[in-house]
Chains A and B, each alone.
Chain A
Amino acid sequence: MTDYKISAKGVQVYYGDTHAIKDVDVDIEDKTVTAFIGPSGCGKSTFLRTLNRMNDTIDICRVQGDIRIDGEDIYDSAVDPVQLRAKVGMVFQKPNPFPKSIYDNVAYGPKIHGLARNKAELDEIVESSLRKAALWTEAKDRLNAPGTGLSGGQQQRLCIARAIATAPEVLLMDEPCSALDPIATAQVEELIDELRQSFSVVIVTHSMQQAARVSQKTAFFHLGNLVEYGETDKIFTNPEDPRTESYISGRIG
């Protein structure tokens, strides 16, 4: 029980009167990649955002239930969401670099969290983050160029670099590859596989192939319910629920 990195019990999320997540139980292991799949609007992003309390920023959003990270209730009143988000990083569905230089984009997180003692250390963090995000070769000669001047796919990799620069323990990725070409996608997938050595990654994706390639566990959401959750191999080869089966084979979605 306690060796789960994240453990969610009876999670309900409401947007005003809309019941977006209905009684979801999920346990996410450390050092694994967990994929969330499901048709559009089923609540994957919503659930992902409950894990780092990004839903706090939406006024009409209410979250109920028990979500623990390393055994600590993250919705406890004593928990500072700012600290939580430093530990649980996030890459958004739409690339959203700051309108600053590439360097500053990556360096911002380490700066505000005091992760570097001097410029050399900061440079080091920036370089290694960009390398991990497979952006170093393209960006190393234009670190002072604006991040928003990159292509869509490069921007998304910049956002990934920015997220890993703060050295999170959990990385939440909301369709990180939806704007990427196959080569960049492959690079990011490789990166995800690498990240798994040190943290747990939760990834939302619309691509079955991607889920099958990168994840060890898969959760299938449908209309706000968690329909099925288990080993990726099992979900894709031998799903228990007929809804999972029909989604995977392309009949609902």
Chain B
Amino acid sequence: MTDLSSTEPKAHRSLKVADARTKKRNAAEKRFRAYGIVAIAIGGLFLLALTYNILKAGLPAFTQYVVELEVTLTQDEFDAAESQMLKTAAYTDIFIGNFEANLAERGVAVPYDADAIERLLGKVGGDIRSYYRENLDDIGQPVTFQLQTSSRVEGYFKGRVNRDTIVDSRFLMGSDLDIVDALRDSGVLTSRFNWDFITGKDSGVDNPGGAGIGASAIGSLFMMLVVLFLSLPIGVAASIYLEEFAPKNRLTDLVEVNISNLAAVPSIVFGILGLSVFIQFAHLPQSAPLVGGLVLTLMTLPTIIISTRASLKSVPPSIRDAALGIGASKMQSVFHHVLPLAMPGILTGTIIGLAQALGETAPLLLIGMVGFVAREYPDGVVSGFMDPNSAMPAQIYTWAARADVGFYEKAWGGIIVLLIFLLLMNALAIFLRKKFERRW
């Protein structure tokens, strides 16, 4: 003490001259800031590379190439075709007739035959026949058909094959490319936004062009509804009880530790649990969004409970004291004062939990929510919680595993759709947080 408070006068130092210690401290601070900026830059770079890759690989999935053709079918032609043995062949002939007239009108001269048409556009006869059988009123009137080109033709436009690498096969011949180019130049073949990808269902393994993410998006939606309506009330009620009412003893400590542990359990474990409990024991249907939702609820609950408890904890205890001090009951103090303050945190946690669940694939594989779901909605797939369906991430996984290269872009396109959903959910979380946040 005495030597610190020595009476010797201190040498005068100007504040403008930094001493050695200050210099060192300032240098350390500068270095630390530089580390931070570098770290953020690296993160940003990775993000950029990832986004670029995803967009590059996935965006083609949103473009579709179609041949647009006006067809007029007279009642006589219809009756004649329907009376034949090979009905679709008759319709194919009708199509080719119209096609020829159309090309002649536009002055396009290119040799082709019926087989080439089938390689380029698939079984057009069947498509046209089923259209007219459903729309009998359109007979005799001009109808514009938009026929999707085969995935090999799309592959040519999207750069998967070119004139040098093409190998003649029953799917596509080198000579077909001349027809394709001619159609393209004359405007018969055009590209358009691929709504079928957004709204459509999965297709067969050899038809990547017809595959869509819509059906599995609806499966995901059903699952998220199950997750939201089960895990939010259960999670919040459990958190409020544990945080505000439960006595602090061994038992509640044990519960607490186990909840934290559950949050770290690999999701596939929840999948196998769901398989054995919900499907094998409770005999719920396989592949049903209800089961998927239940499994994901189990997975999401710990996340919601942990974030809810954290936000309840962050409400200052003086607020509880204030309420109790004027004779509010425990429950009144929680519901009138604590919960509203904790709401932004709870909602954020819930949406983050839901977003996690939305992207979860592994447990869905175990309960059979993968695979080929080709039923048409609105009935079929969309009909509910108990009917077989897929989910977006599981659908993406399925596509990625398929042999046809056409599915590659579908998988990436699916990822784009999934990411858009996730971004929307995060935006919603931010919006809700801002809305419920009390700034006073």
Question: Taking beta carbons and an 8 Å cutoff, which residues of A are in contact with B?
Answer: 52, 54, 57, 59, 82-87, 89-90, 92, 94, 96-99, 108-109, 112-113, 146-149, 159, 162-163, 165-166
> Please, how many angstroms separate the alpha-carbon atoms of A107 and B327 in the complex?
13
Asked if B341 is an interface residue, CB under 8 A from chain A, the answer is yes
Q: What secondary structure prevails in chain B residues at the interface with A?
A: helix
CB < 8 Å: which of B327, B341, B440 contacts A86? B327
> Please, how many angstroms separate the alpha-carbon atoms of A162 and B332 in the complex?
16
Do residues B327 and A97 form an inter-chain contact, with CB atoms below 8 A? Answer: no
Give the Cβ gap from A202 to chain B, nearest Cβ, in Å: 14
26 contacts between A and B (CB under 8 A): A54-B324, A59-B248, A83-B327, A84-B327, A85-B326, A89-B325, A89-B327, A90-B325, A92-B318, A94-B318, A96-B316, A96-B322, A98-B323, A98-B337, A99-B319, A99-B341, A108-B326, A108-B328, A108-B336, A109-B326, A109-B327, A109-B328, A112-B336, A146-B438, A165-B326, A166-B327
Do residues B327 and A57 form an inter-chain contact, with CB atoms below 8 A? Answer: no
Give the Cβ gap from B229 to chain A, nearest Cβ, in Å: 29
* Interface residues in B, total, Cβ within 8 A: 21
In the complex with contacts A59-B247, A92-B318, A94-B318, A99-B323 CB distance below 8 A: no
Closest to A113 in B: B327
Interface residues of B in 315-373 (CB under 8 A from A): 316, 318-329, 332, 336-337, 341
Do residues A98 and B319 form an inter-chain contact, with CB atoms below 8 A? Answer: yes
Do residues A163 and B325 form an inter-chain contact, with CB atoms below 8 A? Answer: yes
Chain A residues lying within 8 Å of B316, measured Cβ to Cβ, are 96
Question: Taking beta carbons and an 8 Å cutoff, which residues of B are in contact with A?
Answer: 247-248, 316, 318-329, 332, 336-337, 341, 438, 440
CB < 8 Å: which of A52, A94, A99, A112 contacts B328? A112
Interface centre among B248, B323, B327, B336 (most CB of A within 10 A): B327
In the complex with contacts A59-B248, A99-B341, A148-B440, A112-B319 CB distance below 8 A: no
Do residues B325 and A85 form an inter-chain contact, with CB atoms below 8 A? Answer: yes
In the complex with contacts A112-B327, A162-B326, A57-B337 CB distance below 8 A: no
In the complex with contacts A83-B327, A99-B440, A149-B440, A112-B321 CB distance below 8 A: no
Give the Cβ gap from B313 to chain A, nearest Cβ, in Å: 15
